[in-house]
């Protein structure tokens, strides 16, 4: 156990020295495995992992969902989502911020990336909120917080990675994220309302849209609804009726989503040859980066398992006489602390191989734990000092300080803590839909 703890400390030390998390985990895992089994065995293990990862059919879902999100972005669907949200909510105080959160939730349902959601919606929503003299703190906070929904509302790339790491059903993870995602939307709207009650000038009311304008705005989101229906409906058998009789695996659903997003963007004349090549190149780059991190995580996981850390943790918990919920609260405390200094994917890949065996041995459902981990990860995306969504937003907007964004986002991560507590205390909210699947 001591050797594996030293390995974990070495990873943290290398990360703090600015070494990429993939290299840090891979290097420590390789060296640790070599110490336990020999250099040749460690080389063989790494080589086998690289080959298996490159040839794993299940992993093809990752680049396909990334491709789908990029085509959706090129197709300009975010603007239509914002317009329909604005048409129904823009005339309230704080309505533009609320419309931003609802639009982020809709965009998340066809994008699956938190950073992409935040970056895209900032270009659409920020000019409108500045037009109506919204406080920069509320404007940027609503975009940063709304963007976190991208990793929970299906399809979610990070849920795919969790499913692959733990061999948990991706379909069940996707459907389990729906209720917590909707709960997040409701609580974020409450956070906007709280901000407006404290400072009514932070979010002045916009213009009231006529019912004709609202009807026109609704017509603009048919493509979003159709794409979501095809991907999610095919995944859960909603399309399994005559004459369609369609049921998709996660990989097939991702492929259909990518093809549908391409056709929508192409039909809107948003895809030149150069733009299409840019999307394909960006997909390849993002996929390569994710696969590199995955390989590093699996190398480190093999070392940790060989060194006996999961078994040692289980023995320690058993000897200490700690109850399952006490252990879970301690694990969540570790996640909250790590979330202050680690970005989301790195935190998940570093901790899941260590905590997952312990959590399942205590009787917790792996689907439930996956959603809880993602919710904690959402909190880390807007928590200082790292708050990756905040820095992405700062890079896009430019002339707003990170201190202003972090100040504005405080009510949002407070309601995230409330949501986390509710989901931990009432697991049925997470498990009701997946347990209803046949």
List, run by run, the mean pLDDT of 10-residue segments along the chain (438 residues): 80 83 88 92 92 82 83 76 82 87 80 72 82 88 85 81 86 90 93 91 83 80 77 72 69 85 84 88 85 85 83 79 87 80 74 87 93 87 76 76 86 92 94 82
In SS3 terms, 318-385 reads as HHHCCCHHHHHHHHHHHHHHHHCCCCHHHHHHHHHHHHHHHHHHCCCCHHHHHHHHHHHHHHHHCCCC
Give me the half-sphere count of Cα atoms (radius 13 Å) on the Cβ side of residue 14: 19
User: How many other CB atoms are found less than 10 A from the CB of residue 346?
Assistant: 24
Q: Which two tokens stand for residue 264?
A: 């929508």
User: What separation, in Å, do the N-terminal and C-terminal C-alpha atoms of the chain show?
Assistant: 41
- Residue 125 burial (C-beta neighbours within 10 Å; 0-12, 13-18, 19+): buried
pLDDT of residue 322: 81
Hunting for tokens 């999307």 — which residue is that? 279
Give me the half-sphere count of Cα atoms (radius 13 Å) on the Cβ side of residue 397: 28
Beta carbons of 108 and 149 less than 8 angstroms apart: yes
CA distance 147 to 126: 13
CA distance 156 to 171: 11
pLDDT of residue 438: 57
CA distance 110 to 70: 10
pLDDT of residue 239: 65
Beta carbons of 393 and 349 less than 8 angstroms apart: no
Q: How many residues does the chain have?
A: 438
Q: Which residues contact 427 (CB under 8 A, 6 or more apart)?
A: 365, 368
Return the sign of the alpha-carbon dihedral for residues 121, 287, 165, 304. negative
pLDDT of residue 391: 77
Q: Which two tokens stand for residue 44?
A: 């063989």
Instruction: Name the pTM for this structure.
Output: 0.82
Nearest to 406 by CA among 386, 388, 384, 391: 384
CA distance 284 to 286: 6
3-state secondary structure of 12: helix
Beta carbons of 14 and 28 less than 8 angstroms apart: yes
CA distance 19 to 120: 29
Distances (CA, A) of 61 to 157, 203, 274, 289, 411: 9, 40, 25, 15, 35
């Amino acid at each position: 156990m001591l050797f594996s703890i030293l390995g974990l400390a070495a990873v943290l030390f290398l990360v703090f020295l600015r070494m990429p998390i993939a290299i840090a985990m891979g290097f420590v895992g390789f060296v640790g495995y070599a110490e336990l089994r020999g250099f040749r065995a460690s080389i063989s293990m790494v080589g086998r992992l690289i080959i298996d990862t490159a040839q794993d059919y299940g992993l093809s879902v990752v680049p396909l969902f990334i491709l789908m999100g990029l085509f959706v972005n090129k197709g300009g669907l975010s603007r239509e989502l914002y317009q329909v949200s604005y048409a129904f909510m823009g005339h309230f105080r704080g309505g533009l911020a609320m419309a931003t959160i609802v639009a982020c939730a809709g965009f998340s349902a066809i994008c699956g990336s938190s950073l992409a959601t935040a970056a895209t919606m900032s270009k659409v929503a920020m000019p409108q909120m500045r037009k109506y003299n919204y406080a920069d703190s509320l404007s940027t906070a609503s975009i940063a917080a709304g963007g976190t929904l991208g990793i929970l509302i299906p399809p979610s790339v990070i849920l795919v990675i969790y499913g692959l790491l733990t061999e948990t059903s991706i379909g069940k993870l996707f459907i389990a994220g729906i209720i917590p995602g909707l709960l997040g939307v409701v609580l974020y709207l409450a956070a906007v309302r709280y901000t407006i009650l404290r400072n009514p000038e932070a979010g002045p009311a916009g213009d009231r849209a006529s019912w004709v304008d609202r009807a026109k705005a609704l017509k603009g989101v048919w493509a979003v609804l159709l794409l979501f229906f095809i991907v999610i409906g095919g995944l859960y058998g909603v399309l399994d009726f005559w004459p369609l009789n369609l049921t998709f695996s996660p990989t097939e659903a991702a492929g259909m989503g990518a093809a549908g997003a391409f056709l929508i963007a192409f039909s809107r004349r948003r895809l030149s040859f150069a733009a299409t090549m840019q999307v394909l190149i960006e997909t390849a780059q993002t996929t390569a980066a994710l696969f590199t991190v995955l390989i590093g995580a699996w190398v480190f996981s093999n070392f940790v398992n060989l060194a006996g850390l999961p078994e040692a943790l289980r023995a320690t918990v058993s000897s200490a006489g700690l109850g399952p919920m006490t252990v879970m609260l301690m694990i969540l405390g570790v996640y909250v602390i790590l979330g202050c200094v680690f970005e989301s994917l790195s935190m998940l890949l570093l901790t899941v191989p260590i905590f997952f065996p312990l959590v399942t041995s205590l009787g917790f459902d792996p689907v439930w734990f996956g959603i809880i981990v993602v919710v904690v990860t959402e909190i880390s995306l807007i928590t200082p000092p790292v708050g990756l969504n905040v820095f992405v937003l700062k890079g896009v907007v430019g002339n707003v300080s990170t201190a202003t964004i972090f100040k504005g986002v405080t009510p949002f991560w407070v309601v995230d803590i409330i949501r986390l507590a509710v989901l931990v205390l009432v697991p049925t909210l997470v498990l009701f839909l997946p347990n209803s699947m046949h």
